[in-house]
Structure 1
Amino acid sequence: MRIEVRGLTFEVTEGGPPGGPVVILLHGFPTNRQLWAGVTPFLNAAGLRTYAIDQRGYSPGARPSGVDAYRAEECVLDAVAFVDELAGGRADVVGHDFGSLVSWQLAASHPERVRSLTAVSVPHPAAFAHALSTDPDQQRRSSYFELFRTVGKAEHVLSRDGGAGLRKVLDGVGSRIEVYAAPLLEPGALTATLNWYRAMVFKDLVKVGPVTRPTTYVWGDRDVAVGALAAAATADHVTGDYRFLPLPGVDHWVTDAQPEVLAQAILARIAEAS
């Protein structure tokens, strides 16, 4: 299905019983709404109505031009509109990677829209910012930001040789690489999605406030992009009921590596929030 909000058209995969409690699922880079395909069957079987959405830059009908169109506040306002349009103003929210950053900020700035939050892989923005400014390990892990923020060079590196660079970024998702890579190799898609990195402002991460909603943070301890310091520090930025679920031996791609484990964590969080 498609929804039109804020003058843009977003691609959505819906599932589960109509009228069931709504779960909004937000992906990150360089994936798309199919990220949740292994997770949603468990949520739907539990009676939940799921909406997995291709975010701005990923939906062909939601690719505004210019870097500023991908600032955090714009992406969060999209999420507010998703909750209002699909859930009547309040939903359980789940995010991965940049989808987690949006979800954290949604829960912090619009807590009335969020019944519960499950953030996957990427920690609270302020915890991440602190690690980025103080932890050499996190600085090393995030060194790829410089490339992704460089207009033209990033597109070339990721798309050359038929997209070999993009597929290398996706190493770890197994047989689903093409599900994620192919849409980003379409004209205009890479620039739009890389604009999320180019629009990121450090001070915007720092100023994200505490989350008061019931929250679970799921992190694989072999995540190459997020280190242990940022993951552990997230607890300092949640004042609501909080659970930290580290997954031994799991990398950044939790949704593909452990879909059932993640689904059970989401279900437990939703049940407790209810």
Structure 2
Amino acid sequence: MQQNIQVKTGKLIFDCLVDGNKEGELILFLHGFPESSYMWRKLMSHLAQNGFYCVAPDQRGFSKGACPSGKKNYRLDKLAQDVLDISKVLGKSKFHLVGHDWGAAVGWKVVHDHKDVILSWAGISVPHPQAFGKAIVVNDEQRKMSQYIKNFQWPYLPERGIRKNNFKAFRRLWKYSEPDEVEAYLKIFSNPKQLTATLNYYRSNYKLLKMAANRKMFGDIHVPTLFIWGKKDLAIGSYSVGEGHRYMKNDYEYLELDGGHWLIQTNYQDLEKAISNHIDRNNREPQL
């Protein structure tokens, strides 16, 4: 049965959705923007039935008790450290990791820097950050797709635009989400401090990503990896996806779907099958 718990790591308190057997292997789920842990509830329920312990935190900024001020607190290294801290509080030295959108970007950082704690990694939509950062600079298609990231660098104005007409812009992104899902998201983004904090993901890491065009920021990936991308994605073009493949140095599976960016809502069955099979192949112990 799914329930909400709070996980305290130092001064931060993360709201987490949990499901499954605490004695089972841990699967951590990292959501993106503008969503929350709520997006994972169906997939978590499925995997929990197979004996796994599923935990999806509302990440830094999205959790009211883990919402420090200042964009410097949302650098990718701090976001990745949150994942490790949460796993330690849960008493797990190794875990499976699944991430979408910004959750995928954070996940790539975790699996790159801390391969020894990762049993398997499944990234959705956002490819290897070195490849994506390069694409933002050198690829015309991706540069146009990522114009919104550049716009987010302005203070105050993006927040005002997002809140306009009762979050009309966000509601367009959530058109495939159920009403209760949208309600859960609005509870987060209606809080001005949390809205600014979540935009700080873009403000704190944009320059870092662009540096990838001229210098090596992230290297090879040495953990079993599944990457899933929708060929109709309006935010992520094919150039960065293709570039990302060459960093995979362990077992690697790539799945291209006939979908856009919000694959958990539009292509759920494809994701459930692929991620379940990927995790099953990389179990330390057989699950129920």
What is the TM-score when the length of structure 2 is the normalising length?
Answer: 0.90
Question: What is the match of residue 241 of structure 2?
Answer: 231
Which of 51, 54, 78 aligns to 1:47? It is: 51
Contact 1:30–1:180 (8 Å) recurs in 2:
yes
| Residue range with higher mean Cα deviation, 258-267 or 59-68 | 258-267
Find the aligned partners of 1:143 and 1:87 in 2 and give their Cα distance: 41
Structure 2 stretches of 5 or more lacking a match?
A: 284-288
- CA deviation vs aligned residue, 1:35-78 (integer Å, no higher than 9, x gap): 10121121112111100110000000000010100011110111
Tell me how many residue pairs correspond in the alignment.
273
Find the aligned partners of 2:176 and 2:143 in 1 and give their Cα distance: 22
Q: Does 1:98 pair with 2:102?
A: yes
Which of 22, 27, 40 aligns to 1:23? It is: 27
- CA deviation vs aligned residue, 1:115-135 (integer Å, no higher than 9, x gap): 100001110101101211111
Letter in 2 for 1:110: H
Q: Residue 234 of structure 1: CA displacement?
A: 1.5
Which of 277, 281, 284 aligns to 1:268? It is: 277
Q: Residue 174 of structure 1: CA displacement?
A: 5.3
Find the aligned partners of 2:50 and 2:79 in 1 and give their Cα distance: 29
| Residue range with higher mean Cα deviation, 176-185 or 239-248 | 176-185
Correspondence list, 1:104-119, <5 A? 104-119=108-123
What is the TM-score when the length of structure 1 is the normalising length?
Answer: 0.95
| Residue range with higher mean Cα deviation, 53-62 or 78-87 | 78-87
RMSD: 1.5
Which of 260, 270, 283 aligns to 1:251? It is: 260
Q: Does 1:190 pair with 2:195?
A: yes
Question: What is the match of residue 200 of structure 1?
Answer: 205
| Residue range with higher mean Cα deviation, 229-238 or 22-31 | 229-238
- CA deviation vs aligned residue, 1:13-33 (integer Å, no higher than 9, x gap): 110122111100000111000
Find the aligned partners of 1:95 and 1:180 in 2 and give their Cα distance: 17
Aligned to 2:274, the other structure's residue is in SS state helix
Contact 1:172–1:251 (8 Å) recurs in 2:
no
Question: What is the match of residue 76 of structure 1?
Answer: 80
Q: Residue 114 of structure 1: CA displacement?
A: 0.9
Contact 2:125–2:230 (8 Å) recurs in 1:
yes
Q: Does 1:177 pair with 2:186?
A: no
Contact 2:26–2:92 (8 Å) recurs in 1:
no
Q: Does 1:129 pair with 2:139?
A: no
